[in-house]
Amino acid sequence: MATPVARSFLQVAATEEVASPLRVVQIEGLVILKIIKHCKEFSPALVTGQLLGLDVGSVLEVTNCFPFPIREEDEEIEADGANYQLEMMRCLREVNVDNNTVGWYQSTLLGSFQTVELIETFMNYQENIRRCVCIIYDPLKSNQGVLALKALKLSDSFMELYRTNNFTGEKLREKNLSWVDIFEEIPIKVSNSALISAFMTELEADTPVVQCDYDRLQLSTSPFLERNMEFLIECMDDLSTEQQKFQYYYRNLSRQQAQQQAWLQKRRAENMARKATGEEPLPEEDPSNPVFKPLPEPSRLDSFLITNQISNYCNQINGVAGQSFSRLYLTKALHEN
């Protein structure tokens, strides 16, 4: 009977384990309240903060958070922010609180968060953290009666392509990557301890209807729809600008190809004349000729992000319009009765 080969501790530690995919982001209720309070206090200004917790299997637990200070334009950007984060995490470690960074949170205005800056922040976090998420909170959308809170991460295929910084059409077709494959939304699960759940039960009102239920019946949605339409029109203008860049590129490409064909025909005719006189033919490709210099193809990343943003605005308008129609039909039925 063959005896199993004993492995040292270093060999076991060097063995790479296949990480299970991230399925759920579990957030404590107190963390959500902190995020909402921070974002609403400074609204409409955009704020950010650090998320702390544990990475356990396929669940990312968020157990604590702290806000980042809002910097003035004349202050130092990098050094002060890094020192503040390190000092906060040191203080939390001294009081035996989870101080493992699992991502960050940020506020947004009507879901306008899909930018290059968000992708760069994700890539910076990924250099030091194996898995991280970004919690997006929208105070303005939450005023419509819905908790606008979502957890996002970059898809693995997009991060691999972003590291190469090659967003040409050929590369995107090779990776089978489209604009919907940039971000992945992770389901959020709110977790509370048994004591907090019991305390919240004691705080529940005796009446079945509270003021929040009446607020959901407000018929005025014009400001929210108007802002969404304004942002949607701006995104359509930006997308039109990106399309003009590609049209300009393809026009130049077709013009260059026509110049190359004309040059090749002229060179072939010249070679035929040289052959007739017994001279050596000239090469049909001349790298020093500017006609054969490849034209740089514009990146499609900006157009992908703008398309993603347009889809987000359309979904928001569709959702608010559907709720408005439901409230109008309900009000009509009440008036008739």
Residue 190 pairs in a beta bridge with: 27
- Burial of residue 99 (CB within 10 Å: 0-12, 13-18, 19+) is middle
Question: What pLDDT score does 81 carry?
Answer: 65
Under DSSP, the state recorded for 292 is G
Question: What pLDDT score does 332 carry?
Answer: 75
CA distance 313 to 294: 38
Which range (81-85, 97-101, 304-308) has the least confidence? 81-85
- DSSP-assigned letters across all residues of 136-197: EE-HHHHTTTS--EEEEEE-HHHHHHHHHT---HHHHHHHT--GGGSEEEEPEEEE--HHHH
Residue-averaged pLDDT of the chain = 81
Across the range 146-153, mean pLDDT stands at 88
Across the range 38-56, mean pLDDT stands at 88
Question: What pLDDT score does 214 carry?
Answer: 58
Percent of the chain with pLDDT over 90: 14
CA distance 124 to 126: 5
Q: How far is CA 18 from CA 57, 58, 184, in A?
A: 11, 12, 20
Q: 194-201 long-range contacts, Cβ below 8 Å, gap at least 24?
A: 196/29, 196/30
CA distance 80 to 86: 10
Across the range 30-54, mean pLDDT stands at 90
pLDDT band at 210 (very low <50, low <70, confident <90, very high): low
Lookup result for tokens 């299970």: 20
CA distance 152 to 135: 6
Q: Which of 24, 311, 320, 307 is nearest to 148 (CA)?
A: 320
Helix (H, G, I), strand (E, B) or coil at 103: strand
Residue 51 or 11, more confident: 51
The vertex-224 CA angle with 222 and 229, nearest 5°, equals 90
Give every CB contact of residue 271 below 8 A, 6+ residues apart in sequence. 281, 282, 284
Q: How far is CA 284 from CA 114, 252, 302, in A?
A: 47, 22, 38
pLDDT of 206 over the 70 cut = no
Question: What pLDDT score does 187 carry?
Answer: 93
Tell if the pTM clears 0.85, that is, is over it.
no
pLDDT band at 9 (very low <50, low <70, confident <90, very high): very low
Question: What pLDDT score does 171 carry?
Answer: 82
**Using an 8 Å Cβ cutoff, are 192 and 32 in contact?**
no
**Using an 8 Å Cβ cutoff, are 50 and 66 in contact?**
yes
The vertex-115 CA angle with 35 and 119, nearest 5°, equals 80
Which range (162-166, 173-177, 332-336) has the least confidence? 332-336
Per-residue pLDDT reduced to its tens digit, 167-179: 888 888 888 888 8
CA distance 118 to 132: 13
Q: Cis peptide leading into 281, omega within 30 of 0?
A: no
Question: Alpha-carbon Rg of the chain, whole angstroms?
Answer: 29
Q: What kind and span of H or E run contains 229?
A: helix 222-276
Across the range 216-233, mean pLDDT stands at 76
CB atoms within 10 A of CB 84: 15
pLDDT band at 15 (very low <50, low <70, confident <90, very high): very low
Q: What kind and span of H or E run contains 134?
A: strand 133-137
pLDDT of 2 over the 60 cut = no
